[in-house]
Amino acid sequence: MDGKGVHGDRSGGSAGFEALKTAIADGKMENGTTEKNRKAVKILEILAERYGTTPWNWHTRRDPFRVLVGTVLSHRTRDEMTDAAARAVLARYPDAASLADAPVEILQELVRPVNFFKTKAARLKEIARILCERHGGHVPDAMEDLLALPGVGRKTAACVLVYGFRRPAVPVDTHVHRIGNRLGVVHTERPEETERELSDLLPERWLLLVNDLLVKHGQTICRPRNPLCSRCPVQEYCDADSGD
Ligand code: SF4
């Protein structure tokens, strides 16, 4: 999972972070915020400084069609496998029209590195067909339209909004749910509750970054098992017992 070759630039995206710090300085923190709001934002500021605000994965960089294809392929699959398969698909079928016409056998070969590749190949083709039929070949930018696509749940839809359109949403995957609760930023049992609590808690601009930052933290330091608490940059804000 580590390495620049897989994830691109991990050096920090300092220009983006400077812009965010400026935004925070003139943002909502002055009025109507609670200690819990301030703690959550402080944690995200520290994580942004540590990990940068540029996504590490190729498939989560900007283009909504790329994000949709990549996120559909990503379910229960390692990031490097997801990126390889998404690159292969989009090199051959760069838009919804060409993907809708793709022979399913060829699609299966292109996405073979990911888990459930046959199901995902068929799903991509069907999604592309619907995009052409209902949305003029474009990815819609409304949560309800995205949720109407086959196999697209709240996490995938939120990823498309955040990474593809830069619209505020909270994609809650296993990292976001686990780390949010370990930190004590949320106290939830289910991902949908985590999504709701984080949406209520965070200023809009941090909704664009919370998934990216907690995923990076979960892949490197706050791992599911044996988190590296002694090396954690936000340990002083964490409610969990130290894991090492
Ligand atoms: S202190 Fe440990 S449990 Fe808390 S966020 Fe850091 S790594 Fe995770």
Question: CATH number for the domain including 95?
Answer: 1.10.340.30
Question: Which of 141, 165, 189 marks a domain boundary?
Answer: 165
Residue 74 lies in a domain: yes
**Residue 144: both structure tokens together:** 């309800």
Same domain for 136 and 44?
Answer: no
CB of 46 shorter than 6 A to ligand 1? no
Same domain for 74 and 139?
Answer: yes
Residue 222 lies in a domain: yes
- What is the whole-number distance in angstroms between the Cα of residue 164 and the centre of ligand 1? 29
CA gap 158, 141 in Å, rounded: 10
Residue 244 lies in a domain: no
Same domain for 87 and 156?
Answer: yes
CB of 229 shorter than 6 A to ligand 1? yes
CB of 33 shorter than 6 A to ligand 1? no
Q: What b/e sequence results for 173-212 when a residue is b if at least 16 CB atoms lie within 10 Å of its CB, and e otherwise?
A: bebbbbbbbbbebbebeebebbbebbbebbbebbbbbbbb
- What is the whole-number distance in angstroms between the Cα of residue 196 and the centre of ligand 1? 22
Contacts of 34 (CB under 8 A, 6+ apart): none
pLDDT of 196 reads: 97
Residue 107 lies in a domain: yes
pLDDT of 32 reads: 63
Phi and psi at 134, nearest 5°, equal -105, -25
CB of 183 shorter than 6 A to ligand 1? yes
CA gap 47, 33 in Å, rounded: 20
CATH of the domain at 193: 1.10.1670.10
- What is the whole-number distance in angstroms between the Cα of residue 219 and the centre of ligand 1? 12
**Domain tally, the chain:** 2
Domain that holds residue 100: 59-165
CA gap 210, 223 in Å, rounded: 16
Same domain for 136 and 211?
Answer: no
Which protein residue has the closest C-alpha to ligand 1 atom 2? 229
Q: Which ligand 1 atom sits nearest the alpha carbon of residue 232?
A: 6
Say what the pTM is.
0.85
Residue identified by tokens 């900007």 is 62
CB of 235 shorter than 6 A to ligand 1? yes
Neighbour-count burial of 113, counting CB atoms closer than 10 A to its CB (0-12 exposed, 13-18 middle, 19+ buried): middle
Same domain for 224 and 202?
Answer: yes
- What is the whole-number distance in angstroms between the Cα of residue 16 and the centre of ligand 1? 25
Which protein residue has the closest C-alpha to ligand 1 atom 4? 238
Same domain for 66 and 156?
Answer: yes
Same domain for 70 and 95?
Answer: yes
Residue 242 lies in a domain: no
Same domain for 67 and 146?
Answer: yes
- What is the whole-number distance in angstroms between the Cα of residue 109 and the centre of ligand 1? 40
Residue 136 lies in a domain: yes
**Residue 68: both structure tokens together:** 């949709």
Alpha helices in the chain (DSSP H): 4-7, 14-25, 35-51, 64-74, 79-92, 96-100, 104-110, 117-135, 143-147, 154-159, 165, 174-183, 191-201, 204-207, 210-220
Same domain for 158 and 66?
Answer: yes
CB of 81 shorter than 6 A to ligand 1? no
- What is the whole-number distance in angstroms between the Cα of residue 173 and the centre of ligand 1? 17
CB of 185 shorter than 6 A to ligand 1? no
pLDDT of 33 reads: 77
CA gap 124, 92 in Å, rounded: 13
Same domain for 206 and 223?
Answer: yes
CB of 243 shorter than 6 A to ligand 1? yes
> What is the full per-residue pLDDT of the chain (244 aa) written as tens digits?
333 322 333 333 344 444 444 444 444 444 567 888 999 999 999 999 999 999 998 888 889 999 999 999 999 999 999 999 999 999 999 999 999 999 999 999 999 999 999 999 999 999 999 999 999 999 999 999 999 999 999 999 999 999 999 999 999 999 999 999 999 999 999 999 999 999 999 998 899 999 999 999 999 999 999 999 999 999 999 999 765 6
Residue 175 lies in a domain: yes
pLDDT of 15 reads: 43
**Residue 200: both structure tokens together:** 């209520």
pLDDT of 35 reads: 87
Residue 243 lies in a domain: no
